């Protein structure tokens, strides 16, 4: 079967080429955001082609240079893009070997490729990818017949190749933010305070007085911007514009809506699935409510976009995760033909989902078409990124479980309240611009005919154990008080935090050890293996009595119930606040392409999730978000990050599962479970701050 991404981009020369002697051009539609995806995909290509990794030239994604692989998201690049690049390379290898066999007058089966050279019984034939490049037609589509090398034969896969994108980032200019184009102007956009707000007026004289007479002021409906030759002038201009702007219909969001449980008070659509309600019985039943607040992506660099409109063609430079989708969005918002738009990816700060990068690119494109001929650079300020980039939605959970007489979990109900988990393709600019802009794609697209309903809000809503009866009730809040979209892991990690906390409560009710309780309802041998391994890593049998101020907690999940298996253990000290002592993480992600890169991703996920768990909450207020500096939105610091051990199990076992968002949910739950063990009282609302600890101890 031909992988979907290759079917969608069937020309083999979109993926691979041999234009330069001794070099191999490879192209993927996935963007590098510091997660090492380019390196891992290139390793798969090198392995399948049979060339040294160092021979590869990896195309920086641009719509004219790489296949359309949609959005880089969901920890699926290795599965989907990796499958496509391997299949494409296998097709290319087969074509070249067939051409070599015809030329040499031998059977294809006698030939193989060794570092780009065609060999027969291990002996060079004089033919190579480059001597035969002219003899094969790479513009053709795949046959679906080319055999893949077995995982074990993929020599380059499993090596920790150093990341190809990292070195430039240590020596100076490296990011889109550092791009300088001839004649470039610097723009700042005045953000519309809510989608309904109307701009009544700006004091243009005040703006000119602040920034000089050359400032170019663009006002189109509620979309207003300033453009200057010097960036410092644009900074002063936007400050003056913001101070003088008069708005109508700006919202005033109640700060109380920052709390996750308030989702239950908002209008929602309800979807139920799973087993029928349990018959009334005398089984032990337990219920609890959990909550996770709105979270910021917290990219280290505020978003940036650059665009140039010239001779009817628009070129956009972006650091987003979705080149072709962004092209479609810009075409829709600006009324352009997608074929007249080229989108080029340039490295940027980690975005961890849908942050401000897409909006900054649309801002730049919007201004570029109004000011043709000069590149327009839009740089968001820190307060723009915190206030106007989408945030990860708050979620609330009511969970109920029933235990059989032995204490085993036999019936489980997850009731989930969530805002939109993704709003990709929706932009700030389109709400502000006048005119009839075609509507953005639906936030909740209906499933294809015959397919089940799909909702990221239900990822991992059900714990991945053997439970006789399970059901979900999902309350989808289409209009939460703030714009929400995908954040690393979307609904999965918060659901794991809630469900694995609840399973810990059940173990306590059943009077059983939390690790043994989980293992007793987990038949999947690979799941058991990671859980047992994290038990060994954390020396679980030493676990002590509850309520001593020191805690050890554990968690297990399977990514979206069918991907990588992950177990996490956490040790904490709790007095007035939580101090992380150590974290352990065992993962079975199947075939690991780049072990060092995998561990880097998993450990990074552990740290980010620890930060979410202990510190982070977006504070609402005013027109939307009130927490607009790092002082308002603290994250984990160097002195707070504990030692972390990560182990990979079954690393040569195909298939390869994605790992970029595997470790967060388990980390959240293990830390919360450790804190409950330390305190002898459970906190079910994140973050686990000083105030919540004090309240839990008082209530206990």
Tell me which residues touch another protein (CB under 8 A): 33-36, 160, 162-163, 165-175, 177-178, 180, 230-232, 298-302, 347-350, 352, 379, 381-382, 596-597, 600-601, 603-608, 611, 629-631, 635-639, 641, 643-644
Compute the chain's Rg from CA coordinates. Answer: 27
CB atoms within 10 A of CB 106: 14
Residue placing its CB nearer to another protein in the complex, 583 or 649: 583
As given in the structure block, the two tokens for residue 445 are 């697209």
In the complex, the smallest distance separating the C-beta of residue 106 from another protein, rounded to whole angstroms, is 43
In the complex, the smallest distance separating the C-beta of residue 644 from another protein, rounded to whole angstroms, is 6
In the complex, the smallest distance separating the C-beta of residue 247 from another protein, rounded to whole angstroms, is 24
In the complex, the smallest distance separating the C-beta of residue 390 from another protein, rounded to whole angstroms, is 16
* Nearest C-alpha neighbor of 603 from the set 547, 644, 548: 644
* Nearest C-alpha neighbor of 431 from the set 176, 197, 593, 234: 197
Residue placing its CB nearer to another protein in the complex, 196 or 629: 629
Residue placing its CB nearer to another protein in the complex, 169 or 690: 169
8 A C-beta contact, residue 594 and residue 556:
no
Residue placing its CB nearer to another protein in the complex, 221 or 642: 642
In the complex, the smallest distance separating the C-beta of residue 646 from another protein, rounded to whole angstroms, is 10
Please report the sign of the dihedral spanned by the C-alpha atoms of residue 191, residue 193, residue 196, residue 199: negative
8 A C-beta contact, residue 666 and residue 563:
no
In the complex, the smallest distance separating the C-beta of residue 37 from another protein, rounded to whole angstroms, is 11
Q: Give the integer Cα–Cα distance in Å for 681 and 226.
A: 54
DSSP secondary structure, 498-521, as one string:
HHHHHHHHHHHHHT--HHHHHHTT
DSSP secondary structure, 365-433, as one string:
HHHHHHSTTS-EEEE--HHHHHHHS-BBPPEEEEEEEEE-TTS-EEEEEEEEEE--S--TT--HHHHHS
**∠ Cα 385 390 391 (to 5°):** 100
In the complex, the smallest distance separating the C-beta of residue 351 from another protein, rounded to whole angstroms, is 8
In the complex, the smallest distance separating the C-beta of residue 34 from another protein, rounded to whole angstroms, is 3
Residue placing its CB nearer to another protein in the complex, 508 or 596: 596
In the complex, the smallest distance separating the C-beta of residue 683 from another protein, rounded to whole angstroms, is 23
In the complex, the smallest distance separating the C-beta of residue 641 from another protein, rounded to whole angstroms, is 4
Residue placing its CB nearer to another protein in the complex, 349 or 481: 349
Q: Give the integer Cα–Cα distance in Å for 27 and 13.
A: 9
Residue 375: half-sphere exposure toward Cβ, Cα within 13 Å: 13
Q: Give the integer Cα–Cα distance in Å for 307 and 363.
A: 9
In the complex, the smallest distance separating the C-beta of residue 383 from another protein, rounded to whole angstroms, is 9
Residue placing its CB nearer to another protein in the complex, 152 or 243: 243
Residue placing its CB nearer to another protein in the complex, 418 or 594: 594
Give the C-alpha distances (Å, rounded to integers) separating 310 from 43, 198, 226, 326: 38, 31, 20, 19
DSSP secondary structure, 519-560, as one string:
HTT---HHHHHHHHHHHHHTTGGG---TTSSEEEEEEEEEGG
Residue placing its CB nearer to another protein in the complex, 397 or 612: 612
As given in the structure block, the two tokens for residue 211 are 């920034």
CB atoms within 10 A of CB 7: 14
Residue placing its CB nearer to another protein in the complex, 301 or 420: 301
Residue placing its CB nearer to another protein in the complex, 177 or 426: 177
């Amino acid at each position: 079967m031909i992988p979907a991404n290759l079917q969608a981009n069937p020309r083999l020369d979109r993926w691979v080429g041999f234009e330069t002697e001794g070099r191999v051009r490879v192209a993927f539609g996935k963007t590098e955001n510091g997660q090492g995806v380019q390196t891992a995909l290139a390793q798969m290509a090198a392995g399948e082609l049979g060339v040294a990794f160092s021979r590869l030239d990896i195309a920086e994604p641009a719509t004219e240079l790489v296949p359309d692989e949609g959005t880089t998201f969901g920890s699926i690049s290795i599965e989907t893009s990796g499958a496509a690049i391997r299949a494409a390379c296998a097709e290319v290898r087969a074509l070249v070997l067939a051409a070599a066999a015809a030329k040499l007058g031998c059977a294809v089966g006698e030939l193989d490729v060794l570092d780009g050279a065609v060999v027969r019984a291990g002996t060079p034939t004089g033919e190579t990818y480059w001597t035969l490049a002219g003899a094969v037609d790479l513009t053709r589509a795949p046959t679906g017949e080319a055999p893949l090398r077995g995982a074990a034969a993929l020599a380059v896969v499993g090596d920790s190749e150093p990341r190809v994108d990292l070195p430039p980032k240590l020596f100076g200019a490296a990011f889109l933010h550092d791009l300088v184009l001839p004649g470039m102007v610097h723009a700042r956009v005045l953000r519309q305070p809510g989608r309904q707000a109307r701009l009544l007026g700006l004091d243009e004289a005040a703006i000119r007085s602040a920034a000089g007479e050359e400032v170019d002021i663009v006002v189109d409906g509620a979309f207003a911007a300033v453009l200057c030759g010097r960036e410092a002038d644009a900074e002063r201009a936007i400050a003056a514009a913001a101070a003088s702007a008069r708005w109508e219909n700006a919202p005033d969001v109640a700060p109380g809506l920052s709390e996750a449980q308030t989702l239950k008070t908002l209008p929602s659509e309800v979807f139920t699935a799973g087993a029928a309600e349990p018959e009334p019985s005398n089984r032990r039943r337990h219920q609890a409510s959990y909550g996770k607040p709105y979270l910021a992506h917290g990219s280290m660099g505020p978003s940036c976009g650059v665009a140039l409109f010239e001779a009817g063609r628009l070129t956009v430079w972006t650091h987003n995760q979705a080149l072709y989708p962004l092209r479609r969005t810009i075409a829709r918002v600006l009324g352009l033909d997608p074929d007249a738009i080229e989108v080029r990816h340039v490295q940027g700060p980690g975005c961890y989902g849908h942050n401000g990068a897409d909006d900054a690119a649309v801002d730049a494109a919007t201004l570029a078409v109004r000011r043709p001929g000069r590149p327009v650079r839009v740089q968001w300020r820190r307060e723009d990124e915190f206030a106007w980039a989408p945030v990860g939605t708050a979620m609330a959970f009511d969970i109920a479980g029933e235990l059989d007489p032995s204490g085993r979990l036999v019936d489980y109900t997850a009731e989930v309240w969530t805002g939109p988990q993704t709003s990709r393709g929706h932009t700030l600019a389109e709400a502000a611009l006048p005119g009839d802009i075609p509507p953005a794609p639906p936030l909740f697209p209906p499933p294809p005919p015959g397919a089940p309903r799909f909702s990221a809000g239900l990822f991992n809503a059900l714990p991945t154990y053997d439970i006789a009866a399970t059901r979900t009730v999902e309350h989808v809040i289409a209009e939460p008080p703030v714009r929400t979209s995908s954040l690393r892991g979307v609904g999965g990690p918060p659901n794991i935090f809630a469900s694995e906390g609840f399973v810990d409560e059940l173990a306590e009710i059943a009077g059983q050890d939390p690790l043994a309780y989980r293992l007793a309802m987990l038949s999947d041998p690979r799941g058991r293996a990671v859980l047992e391994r994290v038990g060994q890593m954390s020396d679980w049998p030493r676990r002590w009595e509850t309520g001593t101020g020191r805690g050890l907690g554990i968690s297990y999940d399977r990514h979206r119930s069918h991907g990588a298996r992950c177990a996490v253990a956490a040790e904490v000290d709790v007095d007035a606040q939580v101090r992380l002592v150590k974290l352990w993480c065992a993962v079975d992600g199947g075939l690991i392409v780049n072990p060092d890169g995998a561990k880097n991703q998993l450990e990074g996920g552990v740290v980010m999730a620890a930060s979410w768990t202990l510190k982070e909450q977006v504070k609402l207020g005013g027109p939307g978000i009130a927490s607009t500096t790092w002082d308002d939105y603290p994250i984990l610091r160097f002195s707070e990050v504990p030692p972390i051990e990560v182990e990979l199990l079954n690393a040569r076992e195909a298939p390869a599962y994605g790992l970029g968002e595997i470790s967060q949910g388990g980390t959240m739950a293990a830390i919360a479970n450790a804190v409950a063990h330390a305190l002898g009282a459970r906190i079910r609302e994140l973050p686990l701050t000083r105030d919540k600890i004090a309240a839990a101890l008082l209530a206990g």
